[in-house]
Structures are given as structure tokens and as C-alpha cells.
Structure 1
């Protein structure tokens, strides 16, 4: 694998490395939204949402298109939705593993 591809992947995952950015991407996976819509759904200040959108834009994860005075944000690649779903499945697998470990520890505890 060449260095440029590895660097792209590292930069891409850095762009995802914030809980609010993940939430924004989850919301955009459901459909295009304005900053105000995202802000209302997240329950955060507009400046915080705008800041996170700027990072996602700079890494080419999302893009904005102007409709009148409103900017509507979209996922640049719909495969991001699949990536988020795979990440959730990985999390669920870890959770199931942790629960199984706890249950086995509980049943083997002699006290």
C-alpha cells in the first residue's frame, strides 16, 4: 500500500475523531441538513456545529451547497453511512464480548 493512500486514510479517520463530528455524520446519513437543523438535533451552539462542519469540509467528508441564504450539508460519499454502520457493529461485538466476559466471571466467582 502506498504512502499517499495511508496518509489519506489517517487524515480521513482524524476527521472522524470527535463525537460531535460522528453525530453530524449520523444525521447527514439520514439526509441533507442545514446548520440550524443540525444544531437543533444535536442541541449544541451553532458555532460549535459550524466549527465541526468546517473540519469535515476541509477533509472532504461533507460538502455544502447554497440554497438562498442557507447552506445545506451533505455527505460527500454515501459510503460514510456504511462505515458508521460497520463501526456500530464492531462496537456491538465488543459490547457482547464484554458482557459475556462479565457473565462468565460472575458465574465462576466462588463467593
Structure 2
């Protein structure tokens, strides 16, 4: 991690967002935003093979986004910070705005009379 501390902040941010750049990892973080989950609880929700889920959880753990706690035979995961859930909420708000804007553009295209020059 010492070498990473010497990186410019924008590179560290890029690496952080690369970590988030997988649908299964986002889904895991969404689930953990609600509450702690055992791996067995996440499997049907994430919809990937157990080995793949373990790999994705290991990536999130190395990035410092989740923690793991063994409880008997199962492992329970939790977010390391509630700010991760906040980040997912901000992303949802941004995407909702983008989708609404796209829908508005589509409605404008449909409402425009045929044969009229586009703007």
C-alpha cells in the first residue's frame, strides 16, 4: 500500500472506480448496504457461481470496502463504511436523472412531426 500512497489522487480514484466496475461487485455492495449478509444469502441474489462470488468478495475485501467475519461454517460480510452505501445512492440519483433525460429526448423525437428538420 506504500506505493499506492505515492500515486496522484486521481489515479487512486480511477483504481477505486475500476474496483466498482463489475456488476456482481455492485450488487454485493447494494446488498451489504441493507445489512450484513452471509455468503449463502448473497448467492441467489447476485446470481453467480460460488467460486466467482468468492473472487468478487476477495477483490472488495482487498480494496477495503468490505470486512469478513467467520461464524461457524459461514462467513458474514459487511461494509467497512456507510459512505459506500451513500456512494451507491448518489450513483442511483445520477443515473435516474440521466435516464429521465434520455426518456425526455425520446419523447421529443416522437412528438416532432415527420419530415421536419431536426435541430
State the TM-score, normalized to the length of structure 1. 0.90
For residues 54 and 76 of structure 1, the distance between their equivalents in structure 2, rounded to whole angstroms, comes to 14
Shift of 1:48: 1.1
Show the 5 A alignment for 1:34-49.
Answer: 34-49=38-53
Shift of 1:65: 1.2
Show the 5 A alignment for 1:1-111.
Answer: 3-110=7-114
Bigger CA radius of gyration: 2
State the TM-score, normalized to the length of structure 2. 0.84
| 3-state SS of paired residue (1:29) | helix
Q: Does the Cα contact within 8 Å between 1:11 and 1:59 map onto a contact in 2?
A: no
Shift of 1:6: 2.3
Gaps of 5+ in 2: 1-5
Gaps of 5+ in 1: none
Shift of 1:3: 4.4
Q: Does the Cα contact within 8 Å between 1:39 and 1:45 map onto a contact in 2?
A: yes
For residues 5 and 72 of structure 1, the distance between their equivalents in structure 2, rounded to whole angstroms, comes to 31
Runs of 4 or more off by more than 6 Å in structure 1? none
CA-atom RMSD in angstroms? 1.6
